Structure 1
Amino acid sequence: MMDGTWGPPLCFPDFNSSCRRLLLPRSESSLLYTLLAFVSLLTVTLNLLVIISISHFQQLQTPTNTLLLSLAVSDLVVGLLVMPIEGLRYIEACWLPGRLMCALTPYVSYCMLSASLGHMVLISIDRYLAICDPLLYSSKVTLNRVKISICLCWACSLLYNGCILMGHLGRPDRFSSCHGECVVVISHISGTLDLFFSFVGPCTVMVVLYMRVFVVAVSQMRVIQSQTAATKMRAAPTAKRSERKAARTLGIVIAVFLMCFCRYYSSALAGQDTSNSSSYFSVLSWLMLMNSCVNPLIYALLYPWFRKAIKLILTLRILQPHSQEAKIL
């Protein structure tokens, strides 16, 4: 039996079938662990601030913000559980948590990412109705309907990923070549279906709706501009700034989504099985995980109420009586 003294370092020295361990220089290992802790903590902190803000302040408890709250919950779980475990796997090149966690961790990761995608689609639908059909928005989009949509989103995510990972959940070690390895393989057929359900479909819906929102917003600003041009000649620059802001927001939403998820589906597009043991999978996986850190920046930090809420939270003013009734908007 080889151990760390007389042979290559092993993940589990007491097992003859143990996988080999990757020994990094201490400085490089420390840097990676520091970076992992920073990213995980940042993801948890940003999403926790969103959750506290919307849960505490009554003015923020709207249908749109309820979607942001549920999205932040899924992203919080990614930062709290998925990121540390996946980071440990790639830094140590060993799967140390055991067989049960090998089955559950990929499932939780896929569920959270799918739920995050579903919430982004719901948010795009919400914004579409708010801008393109403002007169009927309050009657169509109620808090109860939004809560039902959120529950359906979570239920579909749990059921869908259970079907995709059914084989792995039953036998998490069936593709492992040695002890200390957790390999998830998604067949080409499942990967192709996942490509359409988790990428092409949501991407198409978001692009179409946001493009419609952009066109309607621009047309509305031009109407306002034409109506005020006779009495206020400086209205034109305001309209141009609004058009640039709408275009920038649209570009950020779509670009981040594509950047974080499109490369993951390259295996399905190439007609290959998707495996987390591939040399490039770690990069693709972390691109998707980083979306959970970026989401609160896109959907929350752009709102002025979030900055106000952060000040009240960090200064502990939310502990004062009736602080939930504070004017945030």
Structure 2
Amino acid sequence: MASALAGDDLAVSVSSRRSWTTGSFREAWTAAPDVFNVSGRHTHEDDEEELKWAAIERLPTLERMRKGVLKHVLDDGHVVLDEVDVSNLRLHDKKVLIDSILKIVEEDNEKFLRRLRDRVDRVGIEIPKIEVRCENLSVEGDVYVGSRALPSLLNVTLNAFESVLGIFHLAPSKKREIQILKDVSGIVKPSRMTLLLGPPSSGKTTLLLALAGKLDRDLRVSGRITYCGHELNEFVPQKTCAYISQHDIHFGEMTVRETLDFSGRCLGVGTRYDALVELSRREREVGIKPDPEIDAFMKAIALSGQKTNLVTDYVLKVGV
């Protein structure tokens, strides 16, 4: 009887030893869970961000387009999420937002532009593109030649008298007709840089002014200029394109920031607000949560009627 019990104890001991050995080998060959893996943890920051986004998504469209989330890094390294009104950003908030997307301009600007493009492409929104065409464009003008073309006081006086007499047909004009452009045709395709080359006085500036709809009314123009099939008399070309002269003329009383803000208000936001509303609607339909920094930037530059715009800070950051 005692020998039988001893045999049973020996069998149990051997069995437990085998079980322990098998378990040890299994633990040795099986990878332990990585406790430092960020993707496996749900941090307090993620929970806070989810709650703030959920609160913003429940707002009406008009209010939702004015709300964003900014991340602030405290001195102790902790990250705090703040809900901000992008239509009334403080100077500190603007600096935090611009610095977060453009830490190093030479490296981050292209990444930032790609992030903007990726957000739009992700929901299948087509960015409006403009194709400019000119067909058989000719421009003629009447000018003085020789010594009469010099901008002297005598010539200005004679020109004024001749202009008055010419109105009543009392004196023939001494101007000569000059052909500036003759039967010019071409296409400026969207998303493609175009280089215009030519010798001096070949009509490069006149062509650009014609495409921008800013030619002098005294010039005689023939031919056809279209923007996506629409002629210049069907819309306001100054809201679609701009001609920038090689002579920069600025108000001496205005700073660079004030000049950029003034130019931005004259130009307006265009279709940015409507496009952002459609973008937000499509993201809600498919359950996409946008990047907080990109979302705040796009909302800030899409609001009209602001005295200063975040675009000014972006231009100064990139240009300086």
Higher normalized contact order (CA 8 Å, seq sep 6+, divided by chain length)? 1
Scaled to the shorter chain, the TM-score interval is under 0.3
Higher-Rg member (1/2): 2
Greater fraction helix: 1
Scaled by the length of structure 2, the TM-score of the pair is 0.19
Scaled by the length of structure 1, the TM-score of the pair is 0.19
